[in-house]
Amino acid sequence: MIKRIAAITFIFLCTAVAWAILGATIFQRTYDSGSASGSRVESTWGAPQSQAPPTASFEETVPRKEEKTENGKKTETITQEKVTTVLPLESSHINVDLNLEHRQKGLLWYSTYKVGYDGAYAFRNTSDKDQNVSFTLNFPTDQAIYDDLVFSVDDAPVSLTNEKNRASGTARIKAGQTALLKVGYKSQGLNDWRYQFGSSEVAQVRDFSLKMTTNFKDIDFPDNTLSPTQKTETANGWQLDWTYKNLVSGYQIAMTMPEKLQPGPLAGRISFFAPVSLFFFFFLMLIITTMRGIELRPMNYFFLAAAFFSFHLLLAYLVDHVSIHLAFAICSAVSVFLVVSYLRLVVGMRFATREAAVAQFIYLVAFSYAFFLKGFTGLAITIGSILTLFVVMQATGKIRWREKFSTPPPHPEFPPPAPVPTVQPTSA
């Protein structure tokens, strides 16, 4: 019995090494291709977006006095100088519509989204003269497209000058008048969307409102960002409102897109955890066969370990082509079929379809599926392990293990051979 346990332990350790190599291979495939596919997704779909408010300013020529001292005499000269004046932002009213559309590249899903942006900004001409005010909108990123661009002042379209990652136009604003700038576009982004109040770390905004609608329920706000002042759940997602009368803050408004279950990292974690599943399965098989007098040789355990390993090997290369849930179901069915069809020949159909199949379903399928339960994986596996320990302790409490591990006596049908009589030589 001791030799059998040693052989089973050796098989278990060799399989654990194979799982470690497989898990490392999965992670290498995932992140080596992920770095390249991530840049391809940004180039074809768009990068993370961070929108800043537009600016308004005008230039005017003002006289400037310059004093010079030569040979003890002071002289004054008047020169003309161009001065840029930035108009204060009186109010900001913004609507943002975020529509999540996940895209898969290799073994990773990317959180891509479409965004519809619509903003109305009020700027006041603080000059005592009419001015040609230049309005400038900086786009959130240069790795994106901007369709249905709207740029108007007091509902009048403005001729735009497009520069790198910005659009600007000029309109005549009367002295002391407040101009309403409306901007809007449709674009695409990746991972998160942000709105920053200004270029400096701490900015002040007055009469501010931002209304955001999402087509997803799992909303998440990054660290060091402002939470909405009001939330309303809709049929498809949320309506979020940020409303401030006079805000001074260094934080931003941001939304992180929910991530889809990543097939590559999930398959890698399941592979690294697989030795625990095989340990429980071998442990239970050894207990059951010892209690019932069923003989499973080390070679039988080798094929059972191979059937377990086939689950993770098939999963590693199937998630590239089908959804992770379908791949998991196919791999589970294949592995269970291998074990049941094999043990049917070794010990019979009843043991194969009852004890072995149930144990494999619990310790391979159920334990592996626990990784789909984000945040509850460890708890689910711990509960399963404790229940297993309880059942085994109750079932084996009255077993005399010394008798089980001792060498069995010879079978009564085959008694030991009788000793051969020795013939004494006779003297002549």
Q: How far is CA 297 from CA 8, 46, 293, in A?
A: 9, 58, 12
Indicate the pTM of the whole model: 0.71
Q: Is the domain of 139 the same as that of 273?
A: no
Q: What share of the chain is helix, strand, coil (3-state, %, to 5)?
A: 40, 35, 25
Task: Work out the average pLDDT over 125-139.
Answer: 90
Q: How far apart are the first and last CA of the chain?
A: 55
Burial of 23 (0-12, 13-18, 19+ CB in 10 A): buried
Which of 149, 178, 198 is the last residue before a domain boundary? 198
Q: Is residue 359 part of a domain?
A: yes
Q: Is the domain of 173 the same as that of 265?
A: no
Which of 157, 179, 198 is the last residue before a domain boundary? 198
Q: Is the domain of 107 the same as that of 188?
A: yes
Q: Is the domain of 70 the same as that of 166?
A: yes
Q: For residue 176, what are the contacts with CB-CB under 8 A and spacing of at least 6?
A: 124, 125, 126, 127, 128
Q: Is residue 425 part of a domain?
A: no
Q: Is residue 126 part of a domain?
A: yes
Give pLDDT tens digits for 93-119: 999 999 999 888 877 888 999 999 999
Reference 186, options 113, 122, 135; nearest CA is 113
Q: Is the domain of 182 the same as that of 95?
A: yes
Which of 198, 227, 247 is the last residue before a domain boundary? 198
Q: Is the domain of 278 the same as that of 335?
A: yes
Residue 351, domain extent: 2-35+261-401
The total domain count for the chain is 2
Q: Is residue 58 part of a domain?
A: yes
Give pLDDT tens digits for 216-253: 999 989 888 999 999 999 998 999 999 999 988 888 99
Q: Is the domain of 153 the same as that of 287?
A: no
Q: Is residue 123 part of a domain?
A: yes
Q: Is the domain of 191 the same as that of 54?
A: yes
Strand partners, 101: 112
The least confident of 328-342, 345-359, 407-421 is 407-421
Q: Which one is predicted more confidently, 397 or 101?
A: 101
Entry field: residues in the chain: 428
Q: Is the domain of 191 the same as that of 275?
A: no
Q: Is residue 338 part of a domain?
A: yes
Q: Is the domain of 129 the same as that of 181?
A: yes
Q: Is the domain of 20 the same as that of 132?
A: no
Q: Is the domain of 279 the same as that of 363?
A: yes
Strands of 224-278, DSSP E: 230-233, 238-249, 253-256
Q: Is residue 6 part of a domain?
A: yes
User: Directed axis angle between helix 263-292 and helix 2-44, to 10°?
Assistant: 160
Q: Is residue 84 part of a domain?
A: yes
Give pLDDT tens digits for 266-304: 899 999 999 999 999 999 998 888 888 888 899 999 999
Reference 360, options 386, 391, 325, 334; nearest CA is 334
Reference 56, options 25, 20, 92; nearest CA is 92
